[in-house]
């Protein structure tokens, strides 16, 4: 363990991790937990949650309290965090399925001897009889310091990533009274927060809720029209040479999109649960360790991924709720540099998500909550006002227009779609009256638009009173109306009858004109994909490393390039992502000061005592050699 001269949270922050000040509520959280208090911490991705339990773990071990157990569902996160802690001079280890029995036994012995400051383990392991017996031994000797429950939203059925094994973690409170617990998550609305507190028995804990705002992320949501081409244009025009993540709903779509992007010269890799484990692990390792990789994935990928220079996250299919959307988009721009969250969505997305809810075996109360969450996400997608204001409002945070989302940069026109909605609902009613057969959205729109298709002729639907009454509307406009009607429950999707549409009790109020339907104007295919901000494109359009280097003079750029090459070699030797050794921002700061002695590196953000000792001389040598 790195020797710390004066044991305070600030001295640990400085001497171990190399930072001179806390961010936001970090200091209050750290001091509260160091003193033995329980806490629920909500902090956005990139906000520094890990330090909120790593610093108390170090402080409390020095005070004689023993081992901190970090509960995480993610092997990748465990490995990266343990690697980063080793680089900082902190004794840490993990127990997971990647270890042999002998390796796991050796870690357990070190833990029981008190040789480990932080031990990472999955919830399934923590609640086994074997592991609990080991915790009992530590507890009886007063050597069980702290429980840190990461990704705490997984305990809630209302959250976007519910994992039943998290429910068993109540045993920690019941069995180890007096051992403080800190639960942490990046995403939880009020309902999920309340559920976390109840399920983990943290009702008496202090709650620390940071701002959910990620001002460096630009939010853009477009109508789905040739989604693959829209994505391709987005990457080529805005993010060529950048690292990014593309989320798709199905495994087949993941593979198709990865193949298409690769054929266009984009370094894209697939990731989903159906891939061979070795392929999946290799692709994840490449994404973490190499530059400019685009990972095309299902939501099986991402939670706990600490890669700081992800410049964009794209969704080709609409997620289930705002929590999922926020968590996934939050993987962009962890380094604080500009990044983009881009999503394309359409009527079929709404139909699919609504159908999954309706067909779920869950109880009606759960379904109602899930429908409400889907409605909120659709409201965000259809919004004509500031996306960020809407997003933060969902998490009970007030804000002002950001000036940086697509709606702020290009305010859309809005139209009153109430009459169009009434015509569509009337059409559903009349065609069902004629033959008791339900029809899909495409056919119903053809009737309202007055299109004499073969199907319209077959069923005699040109004779009904609503035929042609909406001829002035485009198909895209009417699809937008249907999205809203499905979202508010005024139209039901019958999955067993080929996704046909049917009226509901809620249809009546819309038919009577009692529920207004206001929509943003639909844009053409080209405009949807290609709309550009009214100001010049931000630096999100080029790799973060290039943006940092651009601020340096020629000599500084040479040092920066040499330092990156050196860092890559060290990372390969240590089998770690490069950012675990030093972030780009740290390398840029080093390149700026052009160090000639070790003392020149004191105070550089990201260089703690252990890293200074391990790498300081080499860093000076690299900088001098690049001059």
Contact predicate 492/484, CB 8 Å: no
CATH 3.40.50.300 fits 9-209, yes or no: yes
Instruction: Return the CA Rg of the chain.
Output: 27
CB atoms within 10 A of CB 601: 22
State the Cα–Cα distance between residues 357 and 353, nearest whole angstrom: 6
3-state secondary structure of 389: helix
3-state secondary structure of 130: helix
Listed in order, strand segments (DSSP E) in 277-336 are: 294-297, 310-315
Lowest mean pLDDT among 456-465, 498-507, 561-570: 498-507
Listed in order, strand segments (DSSP E) in 349-499 are: 414-416, 491-494
Contact predicate 23/48, CB 8 Å: yes
Tokens 């080209």 -> residue: 526
State the Cα–Cα distance between residues 510 and 343, nearest whole angstrom: 29
CATH 3.40.50.300 fits 217-410, yes or no: yes
Tens digits of residue pLDDT in 299-358: 878 766 778 899 999 999 999 889 889 989 999 998 888 999 999 998 888 888 888 888
Checking if the pLDDT of 546 tops 60, the result is no
Checking if the pLDDT of 45 tops 90, the result is no
What's the whole-number mean pLDDT along residues 511-539? 60
Q: Compute CA distances 67 → 70, 81, 123, 146, whole Å.
A: 10, 16, 17, 7
Tens digits of residue pLDDT in 580-619: 999 988 999 999 999 999 999 998 999 999 999 999 999 9
CATH architecture for the domain at 415-521? Orthogonal Bundle (1.10)
pTM reported for the whole predicted model: 0.81
Q: Pick the more confident residue, 496 or 541.
A: 496
Binning pLDDT at 50, 70 and 90, where does residue 159 land?
Answer: low
Identify the pLDDT of residue 517.
87
Checking if the pLDDT of 283 tops 90, the result is yes
Identify the pLDDT of residue 1.
56
- Could you tell me the two tokens for 615? 């790498």
What's the whole-number mean pLDDT along residues 200-220? 94
Contact predicate 174/134, CB 8 Å: no
Identify the pLDDT of residue 540.
41
Identify the pLDDT of residue 523.
59
Checking if the pLDDT of 372 tops 90, the result is no
What's the whole-number mean pLDDT along residues 1-27? 85
Identify the pLDDT of residue 5.
53
Residue percentage of the chain with pLDDT more than 70: 93
Q: How many CA atoms lie within 13 A of 595 on its CB side?
A: 25
Q: How many CA atoms lie within 13 A of 130 on its CB side?
A: 7
Identify the pLDDT of residue 526.
37
State the Cα–Cα distance between residues 479 and 522, nearest whole angstrom: 9
Identify the pLDDT of residue 537.
43
Q: What is the mean pLDDT of the chain?
A: 89
Closest Cα partner for 625 from 572, 566, 582, 579?
566
Highest mean pLDDT among 137-151, 432-446, 488-502: 137-151
Tokens 């980063």 -> residue: 84
Binning pLDDT at 50, 70 and 90, where does residue 524 land?
Answer: very low
Checking if the pLDDT of 157 tops 80, the result is no
Identify the pLDDT of residue 536.
40
* Equal fold, 9-209 vs 217-410: yes
Written out in words, the top-level CATH class of the domain with range 543-626 is mainly alpha
State the Cα–Cα distance between residues 561 and 626, nearest whole angstrom: 9
Using left for φ > 0, alpha for ψ between -120 and 50, and beta otherwise, residue 66 falls in left
Checking if the pLDDT of 525 tops 60, the result is no
Identify the pLDDT of residue 527.
43
Question: What ranges do the domains of the chain cover?
Answer: 9-209, 217-410, 415-521, 543-626
State the Cα–Cα distance between residues 203 and 201, nearest whole angstrom: 6
Residue 9 pairs with which residues in a beta bridge?
A: none
Exposed (0-12), middle (13-18) or buried (19+): which is 496, by Cβ within 10 Å? exposed
Q: What angle, rounded to 10 degrees, do the helices at 26-34 and 49-62 form?
A: 30
Residue 279 CB contacts under 8 Å (≥ 6 apart), including other chains: none
Lowest mean pLDDT among 18-27, 330-339, 543-552: 543-552
Identify the pLDDT of residue 538.
42
What's the whole-number mean pLDDT along residues 505-525? 82
């Amino acid at each position: 363990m790195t020797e710390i001269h004066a044991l305070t949270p600030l001295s640990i922050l400085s001497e171990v991790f190399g930072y001179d000040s806390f961010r936001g509520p970090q200091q209050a959280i750290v001091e509260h937990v160091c003193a033995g208090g329980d806490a629920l911490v909500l902090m956005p991705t990139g906000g520094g949650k890990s330090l909120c339990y790593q610093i108390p773990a170090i402080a409390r071990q020095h005070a004689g309290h023993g081992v901190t157990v970090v509960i995480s569902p993610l092997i990748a996160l465990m490995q990266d965090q343990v690697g980063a802690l080793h680089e900082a001079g902190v004794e840490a280890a993990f127990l997971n399925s990647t270890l042999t029995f002998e390796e796991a036994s050796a870690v357990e012995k070190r833990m029981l001897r008190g040789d480990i400051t932080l031990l990472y383990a999955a919830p399934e392991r923590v609640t086994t009889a074997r592991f609990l017996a080991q915790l009992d031994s530590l507890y009886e000797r007063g050597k069980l310091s702290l429980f840190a429950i990461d990704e705490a939203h997984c305990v809630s059925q209302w959250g976007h990533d519910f994992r039943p094994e998290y429910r068993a973690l109540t045993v920690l409170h019941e069995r180890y009274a007096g051992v403080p617990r800190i639960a942490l998550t990046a995403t939880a609305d009020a309902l999920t927060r309340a559920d976390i507190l109840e399920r983990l028995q943290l009702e008496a804990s202090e709650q620390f809720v940071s701002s959910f705002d990620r001002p460096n992320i630009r939010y853009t949501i477009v109508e789905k029209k040739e989604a693959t081409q829209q994505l391709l244009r987005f990457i080529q025009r805005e993010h060529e040479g950048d690292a990014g993540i593309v989320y798709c709903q199905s495994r087949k779509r993941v593979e198709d999109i990865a193949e298409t992007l690769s054929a266009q010269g984009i370094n894209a890799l697939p990731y989903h649960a159906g891939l061979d484990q070795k392929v999946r692990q290799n692709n994840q390792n490449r994404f973490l360790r190499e530059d400019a990789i685009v990972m095309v994935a299902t939501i099986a990928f991402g939670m706990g991924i600490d890669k700081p220079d992800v410049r964009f996250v794209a969704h080709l299919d609409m997620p289930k709720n705002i929590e999922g959307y926020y968590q996934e988009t939050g993987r962009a721009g962890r380094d604080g540099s500009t990044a983009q969250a881009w999503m394309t969505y359409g009527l079929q997305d709404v139909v699919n998500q609504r159908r999954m809810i309706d067909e779920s075996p869950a109880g009606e109360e759960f379904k109602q909550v899930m429908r409400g969450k889907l409605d909120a996400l659709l409201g965000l997608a259809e919004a004509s006002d500031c996306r960020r204001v809407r997003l933060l409002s969902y998490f009970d945070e007030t804000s002002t227009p950001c000036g940086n989302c697509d709606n702020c940069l290009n305010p859309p026109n809005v139209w009153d779609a109430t009459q169009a909605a009434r015509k569509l609902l009337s059409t559903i009613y009349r065609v069902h009256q004629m033959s008791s057969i339900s029809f899909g959205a495409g056919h119903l729109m053809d009737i309202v638009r007055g299109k004499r298709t073969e199907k319209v002729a077959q069923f005699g639907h040109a004779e009904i009173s609503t035929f042609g009454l909406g001829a002035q509307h485009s198909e895209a406009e009417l699809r937008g109306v249907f999205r809203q009607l499905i979202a508010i429950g005024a139209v039901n999707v019958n999955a067993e009858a080929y996704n046909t549409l049917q009226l509901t009790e809620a249809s009546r109020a819309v038919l009577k004109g009692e529920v207004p339907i206001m929509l943003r104007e639909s844009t053409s295919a080209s405009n949807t994909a290609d709309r550009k901000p009214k100001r010049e494109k931000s630096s999100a359009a080029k790799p973060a490393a290039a943006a940092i280097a651009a601020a340096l003079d020629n000599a500084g750029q040479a040092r920066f390039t040499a330092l990156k090459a050196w860092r890559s070699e060290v990372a390969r030797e240590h089998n770690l992502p490069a950012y675990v050794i030093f972030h780009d921002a740290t390398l840029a700061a080093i390149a700026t000061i052009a160090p000639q002695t070790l003392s020149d590196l004191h105070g550089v953000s990201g260089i703690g005592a252990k890293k200074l000792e391990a790498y300081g001389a080499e860093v000076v040598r690299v900088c001098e050699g690049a001059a």
